[in-house]
């Protein structure tokens, strides 16, 4: 480890402190008066330069803050102006001519939201009163909200139709319409947005002794 700090401000402080504490007769520590005088001059010059640099840095910081504030005010006002132009163009008979005159692009048609994903990782839990709580996951691209159409088929026969149960607004639902004594149900869940629907997911729930409900099959085989 270096005796004198690597940091220039710390090195200036170190040198200042030692010059103040070295004896008046530098020969007692192996130095001469000329070296101490030269070191003192170098220390004073370094300290003065550091003070100037700090002052300039503070001025630079103030200048950048003023620049950023003024640039933001300009950009915000320009953005408001573009909004006024777009509103004017939308109401005009020839919007494209307005955009060309303003040298700004016409707004692009919004891309349709992708179809919702396929639900997966189903988990079930029987709750008080015999209702079945179902939770699942679903990977959906885009920001538009996704709802889930829930349909159910009772029993083990695959020819029976799926009956509509509900539209769930989140990735879970509670089904309290399962007939007493039902041994097995199959669910069909489809994610949907306003204009598009995802592919369906199927899963089979078997009811057993001890008030249990277990997902025993998923995927196309469950359909």
Q: Is the pTM of this model over 0.85?
A: no
Q: Total domain count for the chain?
A: 2
Instruction: Tell me if residue 198 falls in helix, strand or coil.
Output: coil
Are residue 81 and residue 150 in the same domain, yes or no?
A: no
Q: Which two tokens stand for residue 129?
A: 């009163």
**Helix (H), strand (E) at residue 2:** none
User: Does residue 169 belong to any structural domain of this protein?
Assistant: yes
Are residue 65 and residue 151 in the same domain, yes or no?
A: no
User: Does residue 113 belong to any structural domain of this protein?
Assistant: no
Are residue 137 and residue 43 in the same domain, yes or no?
A: no
Q: What whole-number distance in Å separates Cα of residue 102 and Cα of residue 191?
A: 43
Q: The domain that contains 191 carries what CATH number?
A: 2.60.40.10
For residue 68, the model assigns a pLDDT of 95
Angle, helix 33-91 to helix 95-102, in steps of 10 degrees: 160
Are residue 133 and residue 197 in the same domain, yes or no?
A: yes
Q: Which two tokens stand for residue 178?
A: 């399962």
For residue 189, the model assigns a pLDDT of 97
Residue 139: C-alpha distances to residues 114, 174, 180 (Å): 11, 21, 34
For residue 163, the model assigns a pLDDT of 95
Instruction: Name the DSSP class of 15.
Output: H
Which is nearest to 171 in space by CA: 143, 150, 196?
150
For residue 45, the model assigns a pLDDT of 97
User: Does residue 106 belong to any structural domain of this protein?
Assistant: no
Are residue 83 and residue 124 in the same domain, yes or no?
A: no
The β-bridge partners of 2 are: none
Q: What whole-number distance in Å separates Cα of residue 37 and Cα of residue 74?
A: 55
User: Does residue 153 belong to any structural domain of this protein?
Assistant: yes
Where the chain has pLDDT below 50, the residues are none
For residue 103, the model assigns a pLDDT of 94
The Cβ-side half-sphere exposure at 49, using a 13 Å CA radius, reads: 9
For residue 143, the model assigns a pLDDT of 66
Are residue 129 and residue 210 in the same domain, yes or no?
A: yes
Are residue 201 and residue 150 in the same domain, yes or no?
A: yes
Are residue 79 and residue 138 in the same domain, yes or no?
A: no
**Helix (H), strand (E) at residue 161:** none
Instruction: Tell me if residue 191 falls in helix, strand or coil.
Output: strand
Q: Which two tokens stand for residue 196?
A: 């598009």
Q: Which two tokens stand for residue 112?
A: 């349709």
Contact 124, 205 (CB under 8 A): yes
Q: What whole-number distance in Å separates Cα of residue 207 and Cα of residue 157?
A: 16
Domain that holds residue 74: 8-87
Angle CA 207–208–213, to nearest 5? 45
For residue 3, the model assigns a pLDDT of 92
Phi, psi at 180, each rounded to 5°: -60, 140
Are residue 131 and residue 196 in the same domain, yes or no?
A: yes
Are residue 130 and residue 211 in the same domain, yes or no?
A: yes
For residue 145, the model assigns a pLDDT of 87
User: Does residue 109 belong to any structural domain of this protein?
Assistant: no
């Amino acid at each position: 480890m270096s005796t004198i700090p690597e940091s220039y401000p710390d090195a200036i402080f170190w040198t200042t402190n030692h010059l103040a504490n070295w004896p008046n007769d530098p020969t007692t520590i192996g130095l001469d008066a000329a070296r101490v005088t030269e070191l003192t001059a170098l220390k004073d010059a370094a300290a003065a330069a550091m003070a100037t640099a700090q002052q300039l840095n503070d001025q630079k910081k103030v200048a950048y803050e003023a620049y950023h504030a003024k640039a933001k005010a300009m950009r915000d006002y320009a953005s408001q102006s573009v909004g006024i132009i777009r509103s004017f163009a939308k109401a005009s008979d020839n919007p494209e001519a307005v955009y060309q005159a303003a040298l700004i692009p016409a707004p692009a048609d919004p891309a349709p939201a992708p179809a919702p994903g396929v639900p997966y990782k189903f988990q079930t839990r029987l709750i008080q009163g015999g209702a079945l709580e179902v939770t699942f996951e679903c990977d959906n691209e885009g920001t538009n909200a996704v709802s889930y159409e829930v349909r159910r088929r009772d029993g083990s026969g695959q020819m029976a139709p799926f009956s509509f149960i509900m539209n769930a607004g989140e990735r879970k639902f509670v089904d309290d319409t399962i007939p007493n004594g039902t041994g097995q149900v199959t669910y069909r869940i489809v994610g949907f947005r306003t204009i598009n629907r995802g592919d369906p997911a199927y899963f089979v729930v078997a009811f057993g002794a001890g008030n249990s409900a277990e997902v025993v099959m998923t995927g196309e085989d469950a359909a």
